[in-house]
Amino acid sequence: MKVQAKKTWLSILLLIAIVVVAGCSGGGGAAGPKEGAAAEGQTGDSDSAEKPETSPEALTATIKVWDWDETFLTTMIPEFNKKYPGIKVEYTVVNPNDYLQKLQSGIASGSDVPDVILGETAYRGKLFDLDVLDNLEQAPYSFDRSQLLDYLIPLMSNSRGEIVGIDQQITPAGFAYRRDLAKEYLGTDVPEELEQLLPDWDAFIAKGKEAAEKSGGKVTMLPGLGDAFLALRGQTAKPYINGTEIDLTSRMQEPLAKLFEMRDAGILGKHELWTPSWSASMASGENIFYPMAPWGPKWHISANDPEGSGRWGLVKAPGGSFTRGGTSISIYKDSKVKEAAWAYVNFMYLSDEGTKLAYKKFGVTPGIKSFYETNKDLIEQGSEYDAFFGGQNLAKYFIEKIVTGVTGEPQSKYESIVEGAFMSLYPLWTKDTGISSEQALEKFIAEVKNKAAGATVK
């Protein structure tokens, strides 16, 4: 068994192209503010060698951070201050739904802008296009993009191709599933057997029809059109926005056609994403599958089904991998304390000590390749949420089965507009089953045209 495990890890490491970058600091594989090097000393300028070095202990500053996970902050900041005692972190808890508006107001007034800025996937494209984030590949950061898992590069790049964010944690997604329902209606609750049973969407639809018939229409495969489209769209990710040209037809025609096939087959519920009824359905047992990324066990499954420990599992989705959600961590380009802000970002999300602690405490799986090279034993041990999933090693399954198939799409303000248009339209497609996928695409194009002023949409 040990020999087989070693072979498995070797294949995974080759697939995600682990790169150990020479000269990385702190043993963490990240090109952060290197110990003993001041920000100016990393620029490569001709006079850089003459500039004084700053050790972590000597670096003093106050940085502002806006975040929505206070539990993470109250755990990690004291650990950060053990290494950087002179950096005071002033954090403000901001609801992600209000984040971009609050940030834009602060920028407009010039009175309240954080040094460390978060970009949740729903508004990240708009944030990147505001041109308020620093290029992290330039001084004083000198981050090397090859340290990121390959699929993250377009997700962390602005329209100019600059890396302006670091991933908070990877969000490759599969399906969380109710073991009890899978056993009763699909005949098995074993991940490997479900993979074979549901290799593609045609098989998924066929089994969904059987489950609906057996349950008298009470149990569906997924809670609604929104959940299904998360997977279908993510599996077909590709560039479709070129400047102000949006080729929505080539991008959305295929996933919409499959989505409406699933709707018309009666295998999707009527729930809208993030509504109270959608959340309650996890505990009530109405749906077998839910799209889930590594952040899902904490924020998604266990939060909505607190009594469900042991009755959940994780399996890759039919048709391949996709992403769900995600948060970028960036630095304000007009920050006066860039070196200290980068020290914070580096420790929390790139250094081996910070990422290891976040993984142990919260199951956070970082976006840098080196973590998976240096912490194989830690991943083999699993995390606290594994018990909620019947003892399944979630991180290992995500890495071995899902990460290698993920593709990322470039981010822009138009990507956010497309996302918003879909979210406003799909509830109608759920209620009015007379709408075809062709009609839906026409409406989709019209809605994006209306919201994307100055863009050409086809």
Structural domains in the chain, sorted by start:
2-169+325-374 (3.40.190.10), 172-319+406-457 (3.40.190.10)
Tracing tokens 């890890």 back to the chain, one arrives at 9
Q: Which pLDDT score is estimated for 2?
A: 38
Q: Which pLDDT score is estimated for 53?
A: 55
How far apart CA 220 and CA 178 sit, in angstroms, is: 12
Chain center to CA of 337: 27
- Strand 166-167: give its sheet, edge to edge: 87-93, 61-67, 116-120, 327-331, 166-167
Give the whole-number percent of the chain exceeding pLDDT 90.
Answer: 81
Q: When comparing pLDDT for 76 and 25, which is higher?
A: 76
How far apart CA 351 and CA 259 sit, in angstroms, is: 41
- Find out whether 168 and 96 touch, Cβ atoms under 8 Å: no
167: which strand partners? 328
HSE at residue 316, side-chain half, CA atoms within 13 A, is: 25
How far apart CA 13 and CA 401 sit, in angstroms, is: 12
pLDDT exceeds cutoff 50 at 43: no
Summarize pLDDT for 89-138 with one digit per residue, the tens.
999 999 999 999 999 999 999 889 999 999 999 899 999 999 999 999 99
Q: Which pLDDT score is estimated for 102?
A: 96
Q: When comparing pLDDT for 389 and 12, which is higher?
A: 389
Q: What is the DSSP string of 307-338?
A: T-TTSEEEEPPTT--EE---EEEEEBTT-S-H
- Find out whether 169 and 294 touch, Cβ atoms under 8 Å: yes
pLDDT exceeds cutoff 80 at 338: yes
Antiparallel, parallel or unpaired: β 241-242 and 245-246: antiparallel
Q: Which pLDDT score is estimated for 383?
A: 82
Q: What is the DSSP string of 41-61?
A: GGS--TTGGGSPP--TTT--E
Find the mean pLDDT for residues 441-450.
97
Q: When comparing pLDDT for 85 and 16, which is higher?
A: 85
Q: Which pLDDT score is estimated for 360?
A: 87
pLDDT exceeds cutoff 50 at 287: yes
How far apart CA 334 and CA 256 sit, in angstroms, is: 42
Q: When comparing pLDDT for 83 and 8, which is higher?
A: 83
Summarize pLDDT for 137-158 with one digit per residue, the tens.
999 999 999 999 999 999 999 9
153's enclosing H/E stretch is helix 152-155
Q: What is the pTM of this model?
A: 0.83
Q: Which pLDDT score is estimated for 443?
A: 97
332: which strand partners? 133
Q: At a CB cut-off of 8 Å and minimum separation 6, what does 326 contact? A: 120, 121, 124, 155, 167, 168, 169, 170, 171, 293
pLDDT exceeds cutoff 50 at 38: no
